[in-house]
Amino acid sequence: MMTHWMLRTGLAALLAVAIFPFPEAKAGEYLIVSGGPALKFNEDDKPAPHDRYWANFIDSAITRIAQIKADQPGSLIAWLVYRPAYVERGREMNQDLVREVETRAAALGVKLLWFDRTRQLVNYINRGQDRRQAPIIGFDFFGHSNKACFMFDYSSDVDGGSVSFLHQNQLTAIEKTAFAPNAAARSWGCHSGESYSEAWKKHFGFPMMGAIGKTDYSAGGLPVPSSEGGHWVQ
């Protein structure tokens, strides 16, 4: 009788777990990449200055990280941030923005990794973890972009230009096997859906959501398409 009860209870428990699984971290790593802000020196005399607020790509990334933590407690998350732009903007503002970002990352309990060159980012994607054990399962980019290029800096080192970027033609530097086959990717920057998404899918085999038109970070939180007729595509 006891054995029968135990068997029934055990089966019921197994069934319950199958139907209502406990929230569990997926096996893999989420990468959140933040570019940096422009210098006000380069932007303030322009009709539509970029980055009046220095932390657009920080606050939005924090929102996304909090989302992942809520949806997938215990997930492996790495937040990669382009440091030189925060050093330069901080110098201009007479404020230690590097420490400010580190404080926010610590409060969030997320692993923060600074990078100064695109190669460092690519190296982390390819070999930052044993990608057989911890493939990348999610990728989010917050920063300046046009349809063909992620720009980790913009109007910081050179007025209106970028000296650290990942052009769609450079995607071949990233190993396809760094990502899980069913990984999710998204660019929250402007215009990525107009060309970069296609190049991404062609190289990696899974889609990357990107915007048609510009995106707007000014309301805080995650950016939204802001051009007339703008929307997300993949």
Partner 1 sequence: MRFGSMGMRIAILAMAYGVALLVGICRAQDGATALLPGRQGEVYVGHRYYLTKGIGWGWIKKPKESWSRAKWVALKEQPDKGLVAPFRQLGARDADHMHEYELVGYFADYKAYDPKFNDLLPVFVILGYKPLGLAKKLDLKPGSRGQISEGTSTASSRADRPIIQQRGTSNDEDE
How far CA 64 is from CA of 70, 88, 108, in Å, comes to: 10, 25, 11
Tell me the per-residue interface mask from 67 to 106 with partner 1, x by CB under 8 A, - otherwise. Answer: ------------------------xx--------------
Count of residues of this chain found to bind partner 1 when the rule CB under 8 A is applied: 28
What is the 8-class DSSP label of residue 190? T
Stretch that binds partner 1, among 77-85, 106-114, 122-130, 141-149 (CB under 8 A): 141-149
Q: Name which of 84 and 138 has its Cβ closer to partner 1.
A: 84
> What is the rounded CA–CA span in Å between residue 226 and residue 223?
9
Q: Name which of 30 and 154 has its Cβ closer to partner 1.
A: 154
CB 54, min distance to partner 1, A:
16
Check binding of 120 to partner 1 (CB under 8 A): no
CB 106, min distance to partner 1, A:
29
19-48: which residues touch partner 1 (CB under 8 A)? 39, 41, 45, 48
CB 193, min distance to partner 1, A:
12
> What is the rounded CA–CA span in Å between residue 81 and residue 122?
13
Residue 135 one-letter amino acid: P
- For residue 12, which phi and psi values (nearest 5 degrees)? -60, -40
Phi-psi region of 91 (alpha: psi -120 to 50; beta: other; left: phi over 0): alpha
Find the binder of partner 1 among 113, 148, 173, 209 (CB under 8 A).
Answer: 148
Residue 18 one-letter amino acid: A
CB 148, min distance to partner 1, A:
6
Which one, of 117, 234, 116, 121, lies nearest residue 171 by Cα? 121
> What is the rounded CA–CA span in Å between residue 223 and residue 217?
4
156-175: which residues touch partner 1 (CB under 8 A)? 157-163, 165, 167
Q: Name which of 129 and 187 has its Cβ closer to partner 1.
A: 187
Which one, of 173, 207, 174, lies nearest residue 192 by Cα? 207
> What is the rounded CA–CA span in Å between residue 20 and residue 174?
37
Q: Name which of 196 and 204 has its Cβ closer to partner 1.
A: 196
In sequence order, what DSSP letters do the residues of 193-231 get, joined into one string? GGTHHHHHHHHHSS-EEEEES-EE-TTSSS-EE-STT-E
Stretch that binds partner 1, among 15-23, 56-64, 131-139, 146-154 (CB under 8 A): 146-154
Positions in the binding site for partner 1 (CB under 8 A): 39, 41, 45, 48, 50, 91-92, 144-149, 151, 154, 157-163, 165, 167, 189-191, 214
